[in-house]
Structures are given as C-alpha cells and as structure tokens.
Structure 1
Amino acid sequence: MLPFIGVRIYFENPVGRILEHPQGYAVVEFHAGKRNLSELQAFLRHAGQLLQRRSWNKLLGDQRLMNLFTPEESQWIVNYWLTRSNQGSDVYGAVILPHDVFARLSVSQVVSEAKAAAMTYRMFDSEEMAQEWLMQLP
C-alpha cells in the first residue's frame, strides 16, 4: 500500500488488516499466506462493521499478496455480501487484483457470483487507479 497520512488500523488478524482512510473509506489489505475460514469470516465481518459504524459505502480491497480463495471461502464471501444487501446499504469496492494468476481467477469468480449482492465491484491493477475511482463516487 501507499503510505497514507491519518490512516488508522481498525482491525488486524492473520488474514490481513483493515484501515480507516481519512477520506471516508475502508482499506482491506490481505496478507500473503494460508488462511482459515473462521479468520477470514472475522476479517470480513469487521470490514462490514467498520462500513456500518462510519456510515461508509466504499472500500478498497488490496488483494495483491493474497492466495486464491478456497471454494468454501468463495461461497461464504458471496453469501456474506448477499446478506449485507438485505441490510439496505450499497457498497462500492475497488479491488486491486492479486499478483498470483490463480488468485486472480478466484477473485474474478467471486466477483461474478456477487454481482447480485449489494456491492458494486471494479477491479484494478494499480492502487492509484482504484483510489481515483473511489474518490469519484458519491
């Protein structure tokens, strides 16, 4: 990630860390390495809680170092964001794609399955472009 002035760490576990960006969005950074499902669930629930607490509707997902999602993780992620759609809050996600080709494929699959969710995704190769898109949103 680029260094951010005024960014505060909201949550961190072996899956990654969640940051509060001073311009009104959550930064969700995935760490490299293996994950277990319960840690991933806690991680993404905290991201959702941050959005809800701050009344934010934008997040930047930095998945550059991430390993591919397992089928179980993919299914849980899709179901989690679909559940959020029932809460009436649309979320915009700028996703920085993983370096690993197989991880990219698993992210693309999750995004295509989550299209019906309350989350609008755009995928980017660079952090700068992802941030620029987020800042254009209301």
Structure 2
Amino acid sequence: MSVAPLLPIYFENGAGRILENASGRYLYLKWSANERDTETFRALLNHVARALVRHKWSKVLAIQQVMQPLNEEELNWMLQEWLPHAMHEAGYRHGAIVLPHQVDARLTTSQLTNKAQQQAMNYQTFEEETEAATWLMHQPD
C-alpha cells in the first residue's frame, strides 16, 4: 500500500512500474518479481531519469521487496553509466530503498548502495515503506 496518493502510472514494463508522488515530490519505483532482460531493466531506469528531469525532482522511493537480485552486468551499468547520468543530468540525489526479501537481492542492493554513496549519492535502506517515505519526505528537494 502506498503512503501518499499516487498519480497514474508514468511507465510500466516487466521489470517494474514508476508512479509520480506529487505531494511528496518523489518518484515511486516498484520493482516486480519477474526475471528481467537487459533491455527491460535499462528501459525502466532510463524512464526514472526522464521523469526526474520532467518534474525537476531529486528523490526516488524504490520498493525492492520482491525484486530479483541484480546481476553483475546490471550492477556495473547502474554504477558506471546510469547513476552518474541520473545524478548529473537528472538531478537524482536521494534514494529510499525498501529492501528485498531475498538474501541474494539484499546483497546486491547493499553493493549498489555502498558504491553509490562513494559517488555522493544519498541512499538509505528500510524494512518498511512507511519509514522509507517519511525519511525521503524530509530530504531537501
């Protein structure tokens, strides 16, 4: 269940869906439990960056509870290509992540957040969506 009213779906594919939380001024990214291919994975994240630019927002609430683990190619692409672009071109600064249930997925999320914070990205992880949304709403725009 979402914490605040959400607008209609901005984008959706087999990897997940993106919704726009106008009252909180953040994107709501809900990962699916589906297996992903490279094209679907990248398309979802590229739409996150486009939506951040469109709204001039800097925050994303990522619900990863049922997400499959990131593979090495996905992790490297996110860290080396997508994240630098999202930070510098799209203004991405704050990410609240609701952790996956799967241990392997938690490990890859941990790798991502640790390396991303070295790039000055502000990520926090949470067990509950309510806590994540509250933290995110208190971050500067």
- Report the TM-score, using the length of structure 1 for normalisation: 0.92
Do the aligned residues in 2 keep the contact of 1:30 with 1:63 (CA within 8 Å)? Answer: yes
Alpha-carbon spacing, 1:56–1:118, altered in 2? closer, same or farther (3 Å) = farther
Aligned amino acid, residue 16 of structure 1: G
Do the aligned residues in 1 keep the contact of 2:31 with 2:63 (CA within 8 Å)? Answer: yes
Quick one: which of 114, 117, 128 aligns to 2:116? 114
Q: Which runs of 5+ in 2 are unaligned?
A: none
Q: How far did 1:118 drift?
A: 5.3
CA distance in 2, matches of 1:91, 1:114: 11
Q: Which residue of 2 aligns with 1:91?
A: 93
CA distance in 2, matches of 1:118, 1:49: 20
Do the aligned residues in 1 keep the contact of 2:64 with 2:100 (CA within 8 Å)? Answer: yes
Cα RMSD for the two superposed structures: 1.6
Q: How far did 1:88 drift?
A: 7.4
Q: How far did 1:22 drift?
A: 2.2
Task: Give runs of aligned pairs for residues 65-76 of structure 1, distance below 5 A.
Answer: 65-76=66-77
Quick one: which of 130, 133, 137 aligns to 2:135? 133
- Report the TM-score, using the length of structure 2 for normalisation: 0.90
Alpha-carbon spacing, 1:61–1:88, altered in 2? closer, same or farther (3 Å) = closer
Matched length: 138
Alpha-carbon spacing, 1:101–1:11, altered in 2? closer, same or farther (3 Å) = same
SS at structure 2 position matched to 1:69: coil
Residues 109-118 or 55-64, more deviating: 109-118
Residues 64-90 of structure 1: CA deviation (Å, up to 9, x unaligned): 010100000000111210233333724
SS at structure 2 position matched to 1:64: coil
Do the aligned residues in 2 keep the contact of 1:85 with 1:117 (CA within 8 Å)? Answer: no
Identity of aligned residues (%): 36
Aligned amino acid, residue 31 of structure 2: F
